[in-house]
Chain A
Amino acid sequence: MLSFNQDCWFVRKVVRWRALASIAWSVLLLPATTTLFVFLVRFSLFHPVEWISECFGLLMAASTIFSLILLCGVVLVIGFFNLEGYTVVPSIPCSRVALLAKVLHPRQCVHSLVHCTVGMMVMWCASVMAGGRYQALGSPCTRGESADAPEVCLNEYHVFLLLAGAFIGYSHSFLGVVQNMNYVSFQIIQQYKYLRCKGSLPWVLKCSAVQSLYAVRNYVALYFFFGHIPRAWISNSLNLPIDSSLHSLDSLTGLLDFSLLYHLWISGAFLLLTWYITVLLFRIYVTEAHRFPVQSTFAEDAEQCLPKVLSEKRTPIMKFLALQDLALLSQHSPPRRQEVFSLSQPGGHPHNWNAISKECLALLSDLTQRLVAHHDAVASNGRARPPSATSDTRTTSNSSVSSAVVSGTEDLPQTPRPSVLLKTPGSVFLKSSGRGISSPLTAPFTPDLDSPFSTPSLRHLAAQQVPQQGQWLGSVQSPHIIRRGPKLWSTSTDSQANGSALASPVPTPSSPPPEQKSSFMAQWLQNRKEQLPEASSQALFADSQAHIWALEGLSHLVAASFSEDKYGVVQTTLPSILGCMLSLQEAVDRHFKLPHASSKPVKTSCSMGDSTYKTLRFALRAALKTSIYRITSTFGEHLNAVCISAEHQKRLQQFMEYRE
């Protein structure tokens, strides 16, 4: 409930208006899609003139106008759910159980229920517009042999379409969870909204047609087996008898009706198209670049300036847009770069640059620590391994780096930033249950390795804890499970979310499992958990778009400072920037040596779910290298004068010789 609970100026002033504008445009686009639908659904090959005139007549009819009004309401509801549920950091379930928990979560149930209802409404409109045999719920019975047959019978075609709407609504909601449809990704290039929309429309059309085809296939199969249940229920409750003289639709002869399937497919595509357009417009509007002022002359606007906004943690969308703006300004606008490099008027401190670089470095070193913690957790998984010397040196260099950044950095290494940053509106489970309520199930399996450890001593502790836990587990389970076990629970920073999702009682009608079953259940869970190997890596880099922008912004600013920075404000932070980037580079390199880390995800075909997050780690690796190269190629030999640790110096030399 980001948008209405939090009282952030950005959400109030920008995000809400953008969402409203996107909904308004989707409402304005409704007549066009409706016209398209009417023409397609009433299509008749042999009577073209009749077809066209009939369609125009229908578009003017009162029932169509009423349907349009209803559809506007539907779009408003969908738009509201988009605004409610969107996230810039996807929540990635690391196991099937977590995914199941996500699907069965009460919030998701409400989402599905609403989408079912709304889908039925759209299909009602579609059936009214399609006319003919789909028109109404009741239809005059064909007179049988008995004269006392009722006047009005149940129109199964109408019921069939309505149920299809409910089914497509549910599958939309379900696929939305599985494919992270609420995830909003940012485009790699900036385009005007109109052109972007125009460019994506053909793709959305294709997508809705294809998805509707799949939905029709599934729905028809479902109706064939279970269609008689809702039909009997409706006919009983509405007291409308079923016309026995007609073929019922859950038979082969009833379903193999080409025109019925065509109408079903077109109606489904129409339903999905209106929803997808709403989603698309919302994404386009909300990811539009926002220009934050670098500094303001008025004190009351200070909180809207880039340095302040960057350090904001509660509103991820604002942080992301601010980082995007930083990356853009560092590349494209010299006057704004000048503002970043400028000194404060009384005092002459480079406050802007300090704040910006501090925030970016905090982001990067946080990712480094996350990666190191993950790597340690995986490496020490199953076998007792003393923390190696390299990790120690890295930590110390890390802490030295981050403490050298600027004044007031004590909070840098200690703050568990990812957990703060990851508190997105979309990851609903974060709010539903805190970390505290870990059930007896999870307690033995959750080594506390997921949080980024700030001090080496803490990590020592943690590393020693793991084998002990393993021994403890050995009494319960077979050894090969121990070896794989904790990997999943310590997968990522996101595992706070996942862990809590697992920990929260699954809202099934059955009572929570009793205490003595826990070991069996745990074993079962452990076996289920192995099945999404890549997910841990994906979850680790789920918010890496922010890091990519931070890297781009920093490296472009540093490169520009070579000629533009009059007072040399960047020079003071150059060692820490280089150190931070190089240790991140080392951590990333080590991470990619893990199994599954460098395996590419399978390309999803035509679907509205955005799978950009699956490849973010590759993008981050490339952006990191490019950033270091950008600095080395700009500064060249001058970098030899920068004092960084010998290890980093060696690494930097590799970059200067173009050998990485």
Chain B
Amino acid sequence: MCSLALFPPPLSGGQITLYEANNELVAGSSPDCYEKQHWDPPSLNFPRETLKPHSRPESSSKAAFLDHKDTLWMRSAGAWYMLAYICSFKELFNHCESFSFNCFFLTFRSDSAIRSFAWHPHTDKFAVALLDDSIKIYNSRSATAPTLKHRLQRNVSAMQWKPLCASALAVACHTCLLVWHVDPSSLSTRPSSGCAQVLSHPGHSPVTSVAWSPSGSLLVSASPVDTAMMVWDVAAENCVPLQRVGGGGVTNVSWSPDGSRLLAATPSALFRVWETRMWTCERWPCLKGRCQSACWSPDGSRLLFSVQGEMVIYALTFSDMTGGPKSAAVVADLSETTFSGIDDITVGGEVQSLAWDPTGERLAVLLKGSSSHPAIIAVFKTRSSPVFELLPCGFVSGEIGAEPRLIQFHPHFQHGALLTVCWSNGRISHVPFYFVSVGRPHTGGSPPLPHITSKIEDYSTTHTLYTEQIS
């Protein structure tokens, strides 16, 4: 079992993690101080101040403008999504004191201007959902960055691109589920709302999580106030509700990369693992709290998850032979550790989110911060043979005062893994990990280190393009 004490000490004094090479994380003082060799995804910056003023309502006036046609639950959910704690507590305690409101506190992300982030599974393209309910799409091959806006697109909490498709993006919204069809060859910067399909089902809102099946044929959506999760045939716009009692809703759904299983976490101390052939499920009651976050190994045989209130990562191993695992094993201990150096740095805590890179060699763990220490990303190396284990790799730290909020790996980075981090100050940065994958034999034999090539002008052109878009 791996623990944080085995890690190299985190950076201090404003150093920024730039990339990993030769099994070491390389740091620098600014994000632009090294030259990059491949197409480099643009590092974007969305400060809250650049967003339209009306989308940043102040807490004092917020409650008056809540839509009172909505139900209590939706209002409280909406209140939370719009402005974090204060309103939501007020909403809830005004009406019913005893409600266990933790279902809405999926992740704390409201201080950042970025609500959600999604890489396209096949191309160098990603979508960013901003606090002002707009979605921007950045593409490596086109200079236009379309902005998606829709009347019903409020409080976006999750997005996912459809696999085996160039254009479809599913967006989980406050009242419905939107599926945008953004023509990649179109030059329009504002696709009309006619490009969006609205999928809604009575009682199924707010939608907080969406997951496409890896074969691209089905879409599953979940809402924390609906005990049924919906399986959609998006093109035909019909859905099959899958209902199970217990748990009180579904907060998070995640499809295993091979498509054979689906994780459905509930707001209570219970999660389910569905097998997707006959759609039966097995229940996994947790002892401590609800399932906070989870991720699948690339072959779909292993599930890592973390439980609220515990500072460990559990692993479940599935195989077709034995008929499923009997119990979860602890694979990493993330309890608080103090590194003594020039100044003592404490890291550790509960897991907020987990991300596993598509080659299955790096695992990024976003640790929740506390009053004494900020949130931080711990990166593990993973090895599945002979036995599954996690090895320490290092900590990824950003600019001073910026905390990581969202992490996601690039789905097909050629030279290892590329971790995209959305920071609390609105910056999106990309941290490449250069390594030779075991599963993907490298024909050249040379280590794919970031050799310095003359691609500076190339890089600078893309960079200016995007900075224009930002400003």
What residues make up the interface of A, taking CB atoms closer than 8 Å to B? 187-192, 195, 199, 331-332, 552, 556, 600, 612, 615-616, 618-619, 621-623, 625-626, 629-630, 633, 658-660
Contacts and interface: CB of A to CB of B under 8 A. Distances in A.
Given A626-B164, A633-B164, A187 B240 contact: yes
A622 B234 contact: yes
A332 B277 contact: yes
A660 B242 CA distance: 32
13 contacts: A187-B240, A188-B231, A188-B240, A199-B240, A612-B236, A612-B238, A615-B238, A622-B235, A625-B165, A630-B164, A630-B216, A658-B166, A659-B166
Interface string B246-285: 0000000000000100000000000000001111100000
Contacts of B236: 188, 612, 615-616, 618-619
Contact of A199 (B242, B276, B280): B242
B191 interface: no
B184 A189 contact: no
Contact of A615 (B123, B216, B235): B235
Interface class of chain B by DSSP: loop
A187 B238 CA distance: 10
A658 B277 contact: no
Contacts, number: 77
Interface string B27-38: 000000000000
A88 to B, nearest CB: 16
Contacts of A626: 164-165, 215-217
B218 interface: yes
Interface residue SS majority, chain A: helix
Nearest to A203: B241
Given A619-B235, A626-B216, A630-B164, 18 more contacts: A188-B218, A188-B238, A188-B240, A189-B218, A199-B240, A331-B259, A615-B236, A615-B237, A618-B236, A618-B237, A621-B235, A622-B234, A625-B165, A626-B165, A626-B215, A626-B217, A629-B165, A629-B166
Interface string B97-139: 0000000000000000000000010110000000000000000
Contacts of A618: 235-237
B243 interface: yes
Contacts of A623: 217, 235
A600 B199 CA distance: 13
A193 to B, nearest CB: 11
Nearest to A615: B236
Contacts of A619: 233, 235-236
B240 A189 contact: yes
Closest 7 CB pairs of A and B: A622-B235, A629-B164, A615-B236, A658-B166, A619-B236, A618-B235, A188-B233
Given A191-B278, A626-B216, A633 B240 contact: no
Nearest to A196: B240
A192 B241 contact: no
B322 interface: no
Contacts of A615: 235-238
B319 interface: no
Contacts of B231: 188-189
B461 interface: no
Nearest to B239: A188
A192 B242 CA distance: 12
Contacts of B234: 622
Contacts of A612: 236, 238
A332 B217 CA distance: 14
A220 B216 CA distance: 50
Contacts of A633: 122, 164
Contacts of A191: 240, 278-279
A325 B216 CA distance: 19
B23 to A, nearest CB: 30
A623 B215 CA distance: 10
B185 interface: yes
A630 B215 contact: yes
A633 B217 CA distance: 15
B436 to A, nearest CB: 21
Interface in B174-221: 184-185, 215-218
Given A626-B216, A629-B164, A600 B237 contact: yes
Interface in B342-365: none
A284 B218 CA distance: 21
Nearest to B237: A615
Contacts of A189: 218, 231, 240, 276, 279
Contacts of A332: 277
B216 A629 contact: yes
Contacts of A625: 164-165
A516 to B, nearest CB: 48
A246 B120 CA distance: 75
B279 A659 contact: no
A199 B278 contact: no
B280 A192 contact: yes
A210 to B, nearest CB: 13
Nearest to B120: A658
